[in-house]
Structure 1
């Protein structure tokens, strides 16, 4: 495992920026260990709901965690609004950084993640496969 601290800047799309960072590292598996910062737009999909809900305003990221791969994501976020109300759920595309997002990634070069149908859950779930080290088994 290799850790990678990153800082996202105003107006960056949270998921898009993380996708670019993962692609730039050449990795196929990573976890977001933690994230804090702020958003001007949060798009959050609540449990059991098919569509994301959009929140706008001065939003503080209280937590950000999940798994990343080139073919699927599972990110959860909690945010607080200017009145201190807390909302959380699945990160959807369109979360826009307001001032900063400080994120700690754990890159896992010895693994490959994919999302594949799971008969038991009925959803695409995480599948973890080992990756052979360069130059041998």
Structure 2
């Protein structure tokens, strides 16, 4: 591979890096949470890497601006311009830039609650994976035993997700978007608070119940 701008040992090292790297396309359907989808993929397949490219649009964007206490949330017809950063089974560090309907550009740290409008196509560069098998697209994954429903901007939901990522537990994340979703989850669980955690389709409760399972050692048994 010809690599303009690289010379000598640096050229050889860069060539080896790109030859060894795997690429994985990721197509996100309407309503998918951009950040949580990448986090879930990295955790379930135990892969690390970075975003090579992205095209698509969003119905809602949540991002953290420098020096601000809370994420900024934009809604409307939003076009993704760039998504840069890295991911691993332990989490992600991603920067998003986007344009609104007035062609004003926004950007910051990507947060949960960034929702796909019509579709988002990503190309991920995989630099490390724990298995010898190539990474698989999400539709080829087996369903994890843990399922968690979260509200965008909910601090207890963020803590629950952080716990699951720290333990490297495979889990399916469902983001509650709007009143219809809220009522659907309320009907399923009988709860009006979030997160809502399910194991093998059965409700176990919220964040406190999740930490109780962790303290007893039962949570780790769900690998």
**TM-score, normalised via structure 2 length:** 0.47
Q: 1:43-122 counterparts in 2 under 5 A?
A: 43-109=62-128
Once structures 1 and 2 are overlaid, which stretch shifts more, 57-66 or 14-23?
A: 14-23
Map Cα deviations across residues 71-100 of structure 1 (whole Å, 9 max, x no partner): 232100111011111101110111000011
| Structure 2 Cα separation of the partners of residues 70 and 25 of structure 1 | 8
Aligned-residue CA RMSD in angstroms? 1.5
- Quickly say closer, same or farther: Cα 1:37–1:69, change in 2 above 3 A: same
| Structure 2 Cα separation of the partners of residues 73 and 7 of structure 1 | 18
| Structure 1 Cα separation of the partners of residues 92 and 26 of structure 2 | 18
How many residues are treated as equivalent by the alignment? 110
Instruction: Report the structure, 1 or 2, having the larger strand content.
Output: 1
Which sections of structure 2, spanning at least 5 residues, go unmatched?
Answer: 1-20, 131-223
**TM-score, normalised via structure 1 length:** 0.74
Is residue 14 from structure 1 mapped to residue 34 from structure 2 by the alignment? yes
CA contact (8 A) 1:4 1:105 kept: yes
CA contact (8 A) 1:4 1:106 kept: yes
Is residue 38 from structure 1 mapped to residue 94 from structure 2 by the alignment? no
- Write out the 4+ residue segments of structure 1 that deviate beyond 3 Å after TM superposition: none
| Structure 1 Cα separation of the partners of residues 43 and 129 of structure 2 | 16
Map Cα deviations across residues 73-128 of structure 1 (whole Å, 9 max, x no partner): 210011101111110111011100001111110111269xxxxxxxxxxxxxxxxx
